[in-house]
Each structure stands twice: as structure tokens, then as C-alpha cells.
DNA sequence: CGCACTATTGAGTGCTGTCAAGAACTGTGG
DNA sequence: CCACAGTTCTTGACAGCACTCAATAGTGCG
């Protein structure tokens, strides 16, 4: 499996974003024996389900995922979107059981990090990288929370877009081009508003030429004004 | 410092909630050499400030803390409240710098866990406990996010109270008696609503005998109906 | 090409934010 | 113990924004 000359980590395009960040030859090979890449998943496939034993967390290699919780009444809450280099599934460590479910938003791959290898990660030297991933995840959660406290829908959406933009930049991608493989319904749900409100605001922002909205891609034309909107200084 | 016969971990009333969970004699002593208890802090004292180097995270021993972010316009966002056995300060690991500030809500103490000792925690055998703390923190963040997506103020408050209740239960305390050392303003801020709205809902819940609200303590009289309210089935 | 699903657009109600005033609480000093 | 000042909390009136309901338009897929 890993006896070939080039490990899956060495050939991974996401290696500068994940646990492999800053690692060299031997360390990369050692890491490759710890984490396991999954087969490509397709839209709607489950990475894990709420209730599954949480014996591992995951780092996105390609594509995107959403995590969500379904309550006793069948209401779905989208708790997060995950892009390459981002870690998910860690909240399950609290009770040893995943408390949310995760599905692929399009064709996507991950690396599976089993809970048992976490101590090994420190000896390999990728402990700090793990902390960075966990920290970024934590930070994202904080930003989402702060964003949700904004009452005005347009400010929430503006901040959501700018947050996505920052994550694209961190990935080394064009920060003005935001892939949105999730549905509008998912975005609205995640932002705590109705599909209608989201649709209206997107239409308004498009008319004002602040963004160009396509089905699976939103382009930022004026991040400056979007930022002003996010801070609801004016409109 | 730790040459006495009983380590600060062995004598700590919070030891079954924190990193010490499940550890015995020798392990406890080893842990006590890794983590450092802080001197009692008083209301308003800073545990860390946004911008400080994030070389450690903290576990609450007693009292309570709040974390918050202040943006460029001076707006404050309360990102979380922390009770005994809960971990805070981990989001700073993303960039090596704390992105939020933390202050004591009343007289409070913590244990400081330096980032350098994290590998040692695994060898002591408290790795799983660390994961549990991190997982619980993650889970709390998720719950907060879900809660903030609820549009109705009374549902948000009901869920907030029930969440606090669960945390009290986890601490081994009476789940019906919720210490609220934070101000109403802080709670309102954290829940993404105005002080006035919070005040009105609390008054309404009190009149309906669902809760008994005092300045620094809220008592739940009917968790059942509060849960129904949280799910906004009826009113 | 037609169907199902998703997204957009339109009108009306209700809840929460805003502004404003008053009440209760906290701590200090006499 | 009481009086006082500052803060924190409560209560009231009004307006704006987002939700609800409803219909139309667009998109993807067989």
C-alpha cells in the first residue's frame, strides 16, 4: 500500500495545508503510514453519521463537505462547510460518538486520522500542525457564532462570503472566486435565515454589482464594499 | 513546589472533570508537574488577551470565565462562557496568537496547560481526557451555533438555559440551579439579541413559572415545558 | 421534451430592534 | 443603618426587517 517510492502524502496537492505542513521526506513517509486516504466520495455520500463511534477525524483532501445535526423532529441544522485542508469530526471525541453527520457536497476525498495515531503524530513532529488545524476549526466555529449574532441578513451573508474568501486565500486559491457546491437551502440554513431571505439578498448584491452569483460559484467584485456591509456601517 | 505529599491535582475538587479524569496516584502526580494552577483571579481579571502569544490553554478549576472578541469598531462579542472542567484558549493554536480575550466573571481559578506539555500528556495517559475536553468544547461551539440559528428569542433563551443545565449536571451539580455570574448584557450579547429582548423573555418565563430568575442564579422549575419552548412547538 | 426539484419574486403579518423612561440593585460613605 | 449615586435591569411605544404563505421562473435529469 505504501511500499511505493512516493507516499500518498508526498504526492498530495493538499500537503501544505494539512498535517503534512512543514514536513520533509522521511517525516512525510511516516505520516503517510499514520493517515489513510479514502476513496473518492460522491455528492450525498456520508463520511460519518451521528451516532457512529468516533474513532477517527478527517482532513479534507479535495472537494467539500457539510456537517449537520438532525433533531428529534427531523429539523436539519447545517453546522459547517469544510474545504481542503480543514479538519472535521473532532467533536465526537467528547463522548466517543459522532454527534453530527457529514456528507460530501460534490466529488470529494479525505484523509482519515484514527484516534489511536494521535500520539504518534507528536513523535513524527506533526503535533503543531494538528494543533493548527484544530485551532483553525475552533476559530471558524467562533467566527460562525459571531456572524450569527448579527441581526441583519445582508451583514451575515457578507461576512459569510468574506469568510469563505479568506479560506480560499488560505488554500492558495483566488480569494474572489468562491466555490459553492452546497445548495442555497444549505447556505440559508447555515446562516440561520430562510431560503427566501438569502435569495433576496443575493439578488440585491448582484444588482449592486458587489458579487456575481452563479449556481455553484460566487464571485466577489468589490470586497471592500462587502466588508463595509459586513460591518453594517452603511448600505 | 510539588514536593509535598499531596499534589494540587490530587486535592483538586475538579479532578474528575478535567485532564485528571480517570487518573490514579502516580499519574496524578505526573500530571501535577505538567499543569500549573493559577492564583485566584477576581471579577474582570484577564486570563489572556487577544493578541497575546498562545503558548497555553486553560482548564477552569473554579468560578467562571467569559471569552470575547472586540472588533475594529469596539463592538464586543461574547463568544462563550466557561465553567469548571471546561477548556478555553485553544483557538489561539491556529496562529500561535490568542484571537479572543478571556476574563473572570467572579472569583475563579484555572490550570494552565502549556503547549509544550501536550506531548507529555499522551505519555502520562491523559491524552483521551484531553480529547474529551477538546471534543466537549467543540460540541459546545456547535450547540451555540445551532442555537443562534433559531430566530425566536424565547427559543434561544430556553436552549441556552437547558444547555447550562446539562453542563451543571455534568459537573455533578443540581441541573435546576444555574449560576449566572455574568451580566444580563453579556447573556444577551452571547445570544445575539438585545438586553431588552432578553429581559422581556425572562420576565415572561418567570411569570409563567417556568423559571425563577435572580440576579446571579436562575432556577428551572419546569424543564419539560422549557424544552418544548426550545423546540418552539407551542408557547 | 417533460417532470421534479431548486431558486426567485411578491404581498402581509409578527417579532425583535431602537429609542426612551423608570425601577431595582450594588456598593460607598456618613 | 441609611442615604446617595452609579450601574444594571425592567417596562413601554413604535417602526423596520425577516418570516410565512404563495405563485412563478429557472435548472437539472431521465
How confident is the model over A154-169, as pLDDT tens digits? 999 999 999 999 999 9
B5: confidence class by pLDDT, cuts 50, 70, 90: low
How confident is the model over B160-197, as pLDDT tens digits? 999 999 999 999 999 999 999 999 999 999 999 999 99
Q: Which residues contact A234 (CB under 8 A, 6 or more apart)?
A: A228
How far apart CA B36 and CA B32 sit, in angstroms, is 7
The reported pLDDT for the residue numbered A5 is 59
The reported pLDDT for the residue numbered A232 is 64
Mutate to test the interface with B, among A120, A135, A187 (most CBs of B within 10 A): A135
Average pLDDT over residues A63-90: 92
The reported pLDDT for the residue numbered A234 is 35
How confident is the model over B12-39, as pLDDT tens digits? 888 889 998 888 878 888 888 889 888 8
> Within 13 A of A58's CA, how many CA atoms are on the CB side?
28
The mean predicted confidence, pLDDT, of chain A is 90
Chain B: give the shortest CA distance to residue A159, in Å: 13
Q: Report whether pLDDT(A73) > 70.
A: yes
For chains A and B, count residue pairs whose Cβ atoms are closer than 8 Å.
121
CB atoms within 10 A of CB A37: 15
The reported pLDDT for the residue numbered A231 is 80
Note whether A111 and A58 are within 8 A (CB). yes
How confident is the model over A190-230, as pLDDT tens digits? 999 999 999 999 999 999 999 999 988 999 999 999 998 88
Q: Report whether pLDDT(A233) > 60.
A: no
What is the nearest nucleotide to A156, using C1' and CA?
A: D18
> Within 13 A of B126's CA, how many CA atoms are on the CB side?
30
Note whether B222 and B210 are within 8 A (CB). yes
Q: How many helices (H) and strands (E) does chain B have?
A: 7, 11
How far apart CA A107 and CA B86 sit, in angstroms, is 37
Contact residues of B toward A, CB < 8 A: 54, 69, 71-73, 77, 79, 90-95, 99-100, 115, 118-119, 122-123, 127, 131-132, 134-139, 141-142, 144-146, 148-151, 189-192, 231
DSSP states along B61-122: EES-EEEEEE-TT--EEEEEEE-TT-EE-GGGGGTTB-SSEEEESSSBEEEEEEGGGHHHHH
Nearest to A141 among B123, B145, B190 (CB): B145
What share of chain B has pLDDT > 90, as a percent? 69
User: Which residues does nucleic strand C approach, with CB less than 7 A?
Assistant: A 151, 183-185, 195-196, 198-200, 202-203, 213, 215; B 151-154, 192-194, 196-197, 215-216
| Residue for grid cell 500537503 | A15
Report, in ranges, which bases of strand C sit under 7 Å from a protein C-beta. Answer: 6-11, 15-20, 25-26
pTM listed for this prediction: 0.91
The answer to which of A1-10, A71-80, B53-62, B123-132 has the lowest mean pLDDT is A1-10
CA distances from B97 to A15, B89, B168 (A): 23, 10, 31
**DSSP-based three-state secondary structure for B205:** helix
CB atoms within 10 A of CB A200: 14
**DSSP-based three-state secondary structure for B129:** helix
The reported pLDDT for the residue numbered A3 is 45
How confident is the model over B84-96, as pLDDT tens digits? 999 999 999 989 9
The mean predicted confidence, pLDDT, of chain B is 90
Strand partners, A219: A177, A212
The reported pLDDT for the residue numbered B36 is 86
**DSSP-based three-state secondary structure for B7:** coil
Cβ of residue B198 lies below 7 Å from strand D: yes
- CB contact (8 A) between residue A99 and residue B189: no
A8: confidence class by pLDDT, cuts 50, 70, 90: confident
What share of chain B has pLDDT > 70, as a percent? 96
The reported pLDDT for the residue numbered B1 is 46
Closest protein residue to D21 (Cα–C1')? A196
C-alpha cell at B111: 490550570
The reported pLDDT for the residue numbered B59 is 96
DSSP states along chain A: ---SSS-TTTT-TTTTTSTTTT--HHHHHHHHHHSEEPPPB-TT-EEE-TTSB--EEEEEEES-EEEEEE-TT--EEEEEEE-TT-EE-GGGGGTTB-SSEEEESSSBEEEEEEGGGHHHHHHHT-HHHHHHHHHHHHHHHHHHHHHHH---HHHHHHHHHHHHHHHHHHTTS-TTEEE--S-HHHHHHHTTS-HHHHHHHHHHHHHTTSEEEETTEEEES-HHHHHHHHTTS--
Task: Please report, rounded to whole angstroms, the spatial distance between the CA atom of protein residue B42 and the C1' atom of nucleotide C28.
Answer: 20
How confident is the model over A122-154, as pLDDT tens digits? 888 898 899 999 999 999 999 999 999 988 999
Q: Report whether pLDDT(A173) > 80.
A: yes
C-alpha cell at B215: 440576579
CA torsion, ordered A150, A155, A158, A162, to nearest 10 deg = -40
How far apart CA B7 and CA A35 sit, in angstroms, is 38
Q: Which residues contact B18 (CB under 8 A, 6 or more apart)?
A: B12, B59, B61, B85, B111, B129, B133
What is the nearest nucleotide to B186, using C1' and CA?
A: D8
Task: Please report, rounded to whole angstroms, the spatial distance between the CA atom of protein residue A233 and the C1' atom of nucleotide C19.
Answer: 19
Q: Which of chain A's residues have a Cβ under 8 Å away from the Cβ of B136?
A: 94
- CB contact (8 A) between residue B131 and residue A141: no
- CB contact (8 A) between residue A142 and residue B92: no
> Within 13 A of A37's CA, how many CA atoms are on the CB side?
20
A114: confidence class by pLDDT, cuts 50, 70, 90: very high
Q: Which of chain B's residues have a Cβ under 8 Å away from the Cβ of A136?
A: 94
Mutate to test the interface with A, among B146, B155, B159, B188 (most CBs of A within 10 A): B146
Amino acid at each position: 500500500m505504501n511500499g511505493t517510492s512516493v507516499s500518498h502524502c508526498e504526492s498530495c496537492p493538499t500537503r501544505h495545508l494539512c498535517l503534512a505542513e512543514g514536513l520533509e521526506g522521511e517525516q512525510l513517509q511516516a505520516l503517510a503510514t499514520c493517515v489513510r486516504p479514502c476513496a473518492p466520495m460522491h455528492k450525498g455520500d456520508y463520511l460519518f453519521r451521528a451516532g457512529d463511534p468516533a474513532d477517527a477525524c478527517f482532513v479534507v483532501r479535495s472537494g467539500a463537505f457539510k456537517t449537520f445535526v438532525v433533531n428529534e423532529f427531523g429539523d436539519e441544522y447545517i453546522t459547517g462547510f469544510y474545504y481542503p485542508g480543514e479538519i472535521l469530526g473532532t467533536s465526537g471525541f467528547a463522548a466517543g460518538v459522532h454527534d453530527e453527520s457529514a456528507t460530501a457536497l460534490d466529488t470529494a476525498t479525505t484523509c482519515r486520522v484514527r484516534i489511536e495515531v494521535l500520539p504518534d503524530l507528536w513523535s513524527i513532529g506533526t503535533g503543531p500542525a494538528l494543533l493548527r488545524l484544530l485551532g483553525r476549526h475552533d476559530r471558524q466555529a467562533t467566527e460562525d457564532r459571531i456572524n450569527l449574532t448579527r441581526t441583519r441578513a445582508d451583514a451575515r451573508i457578507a461576512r459569510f462570503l468574506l469568510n469563505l474568501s479568506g479560506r480560499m486565500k488560505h488554500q492558495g486559491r483566488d480569494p474572489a472566486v468562491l466555490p459553492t457546491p452546497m445548495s442555497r437551502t444549505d447556505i440559508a440554513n447555515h446562516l440561520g435565515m430562510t431560503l427566501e431571505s438569502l435569495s433576496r439578498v443575493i439578488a440585491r448584491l448582484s444588482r449592486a454589482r458587489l458579487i456575481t452569483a452563479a449556481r455553484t460559484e460566487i464571485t466577489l467584485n468589490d470586497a471592500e464594499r462587502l466588508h463595509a456591509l459586513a460591518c453594517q456601517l452603511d448600505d
